[in-house]
Amino acid sequence: MSALYDLTIAEAAPLLKAKTLSPVELTASYLSRIEAFDGQLNAYLRVLPEQAMAAARKAEGEIMKGGYKGPLHGVPIGLKDIYNTKGIATTGHSALYKDHVPEEDATTTRLLAEAGTILLGKLSTWEFAIGGTSFDLPWPPAKNPWNLAHDPAGSSSGSGAAIAAGLAMGSMGTDTGGSIRGPAAWCGISGLKPTYGLVSRRGILPLSFSLDHGGPMCWTSEDCALMMDVLAQHDPLDPGSADVAKPDFAGSLQKGVKGLRIGVVRHFFESDAEIDPEIKSGIEAALVTFRELGCGVVDVTLSPLSAYGDAATLISRSEAFAFHEETLKATPELYGELARQRIMMGAFVRACDYVNALRERGRLIAEIATVFETVDVLICPTMPGVAPKLGDLGNMMSRSRPSFTRVFNLTGSPALSVCSGFSAAGLPLAMQIVGRPFQDDLVLRVGSAFEKATAFRDLRPAQWAQQALAAE
């Protein structure tokens, strides 16, 4: 058997079901690994060893008595610290919410618990999912397991770092402009921003109500599919929740990708914006793999990248300021500098500009729907470059330019980031796979097929633990 932290959810699930692997053993191994290494990585804001072991013993008892609930039963996970957890602090990584203890779980927190997952702890995030990599908050920022001197991206920074470092089997992130897919890209894992409305956001600290998404982050697309089988539930308490038929996410992976039509949004990264040549090389190599798998590959054209970015920026700034206005005016000192600056930008957006951005959003949604009449999925970069050095605060605002991710927050399309290789410096490369609304299962199928056709999921960040120990 592989080291326990190297097991994927898909590999661990049959062992747990067969009672050859104990949830107690599995959880204890993760807690030991967190204790040994997270002091340098900072993926967790709060570890819950007593609660986790109690949940593991409960899961073990249920399985031993024949009460196996499914592939997530007994699986240790982490939650980004903007997911409400009943009786456990949910801080948004902010001094403002440092003592905030919710009275009930987020819907997703509850669904995962009901599926038998083991909550290891709450994971690091940019402040209120907007503040950037900051050093003026109650806890230090997370680091990138592939190189501790580099940034893991955000805002779901701890969620990405924990998966890459083997400190959780699955995690939950949120994505308003790329905050699942960015950390997935720089940490070399798989992260899905689902279709808008497919996963409940009730009980998640909001940033931009019309752009916020919650979704899974795992080592593989297959594991993301297993989590989506639990997460995709209609929630009448979330006004944005969609009441649609749920596919068999994990089961659909077996269908393969032969005959699928892949559209490459080449102008995004060849004329609309500059990207790292290694990112482009990774995408070109991936397209060769898809052709070998029997896919057709064609170039497609959308509106310029800037059209999406301009509309998304106006909408997200307006909605973020609307949520934070009162507390920002009353206690600005309780916000970190980057979060305060970014939220304040929304105060200068005119109502007419917000309305026009919504109109432009409608046009862009209609346009991408037309393109999807000719292809099954789209391919484009996730990030314009590999992970930069940690703490480069002067460039934090420009790091989101260009943004290939917020395009699909604006359209609500399902978008998956997968590892597409490694740079000469050993840092992960990534690409996005994007589908029609509510075809998240197809997006995951394409991602999983690519991962199984390449060797990138066999490579773990081998040096990070040694770096962490050397720094002790």
Half-sphere exposure for 136 (CA within 13 Å, toward CB): 11
pLDDT of 464 strictly over 80 = no
Binning pLDDT at 50, 70 and 90, where does residue 462 land? confident
351-375 pLDDT per residue, tens: 999 999 999 999 999 999 999 999 9
Going from the C-alpha of 363 to that of each of 258, 359, 368, the distances in angstroms are: 32, 7, 9
Instruction: Classify residue 332: in a domain, yes or no.
Output: no
Res 425 pLDDT > 60: yes
State pLDDT tens for residues 432-448. Answer: 999 999 999 999 999 99
Q: Residue 2 — very low, low, confident or very high, per pLDDT cuts 50/70/90? A: low
Residue 195 and residue 315: Cα distance in Å, rounded? 18
Could you tell me the residue range of the domain that residue 9 belongs to?
Answer: 4-303+363-471
Dihedral (Cα; 14, 18, 19, 24), 10-degree rounding: 10
**pLDDT given at position 394:** 46
Q: How many Cα atoms within 13 Å fall on the side-chain side of residue 204?
A: 27
> What are the φ/ψ torsions at residue 116 (nearest 5 degrees)?
95, 10
Widest pairwise Cα distance in the chain:
62
The total domain count for the chain is 1
In a domain, 347, yes or no: no
> For residue 413, which of 235, 218, 181 has the smallest C-alpha distance?
181
Where are the alpha helices (H) located in 375-453, listed in sequence order? 406-411, 440-453
Q: The tokens of 131 are what?
A: 């503040």
Q: Give the pLDDT score at 391.
A: 78
Q: Answer whether residue 354 is part of any domain.
A: no
Going by the DSSP 8-state scheme, the letter that residue 174 receives in this structure is E
**Can you give the length of the chain in residues?**
472
Question: In sequence order, which residues have a C-beta less than 8 Å from that of residue 197 and are 6 or more positions away?
Answer: 240, 241, 242, 244, 412
Find the mean pLDDT for residues 241-269. Answer: 98
Question: Which pLDDT score is estimated for 400?
Answer: 46
Average pLDDT over residues 31-47: 97
Residue 464 · residue 271 · CB < 8 Å:
no
- As a whole-number percent, the residues of the chain with pLDDT over 70 amount to 95
Phi, psi of 26 (to 5 degrees): -65, -45
Q: Which two tokens stand for residue 450?
A: 């690519």
Q: Is residue 311 part of a domain?
A: no
pLDDT(469) > 80? no
What mean pLDDT, rounded, does the chain reach? 95
> Is residue 309 domain-resident?
no
What is the enclosing helix (H) or strand (E) of 417? strand 415-422
Q: Please name the residue that has the structure tokens 């990584």.
A: 93
Q: Is residue 340 situated within a structural domain?
A: no
Mean pLDDT of 210-227: 99
Sign of CA dihedral 323, 329, 335, 339: positive
Strand stretches in 349-395, DSSP E: 377-381
Rounded average pLDDT over 188-197: 99
DSSP H or E run through 80: strand 76-80
Distance CA(358)–CA(142), nearest Å, equals 34
Round to whole Å and give the CA distance between 299 and 425: 30
Is there a contact between 27 and 118 (Cβ–Cβ < 8 Å)? yes
Chain centroid, CA 171 distance in Å = 8
Quote the CA–CA distance of 9 and 74 in Å, as a whole number. Answer: 10
For the stretch 84-131, pLDDT in tens is 999 999 999 999 999 999 999 999 999 999 999 999 999 999 999 999
Are 159 and 183 spatial neighbours (Cβ–Cβ below 8 Å)? yes
Which pLDDT score is estimated for 402? 80
**First and final C-alpha spacing in the chain:** 30
Residue 396 binned pLDDT confidence (cut-offs 50, 70, 90): very low
Predicted model pTM:
0.96
**Residue 343 — pLDDT band, cuts 50, 70, 90?**
very high
CATH code, domain with 104: 3.90.1300.10
> Exposed, middle or buried, 9 (CB in 10 Å: 0-12/13-18/19+)?
buried
Report the alpha-carbon distance of residue 284 to residue 271 in Å, rounded.
16
Residues acting as catalytic residues: 80, 155, 179
| Confidence grade of residue 467 (pLDDT, cut at 50, 70, 90) | low
Backbone angles phi, psi at 466, to 5 degrees: -65, -40
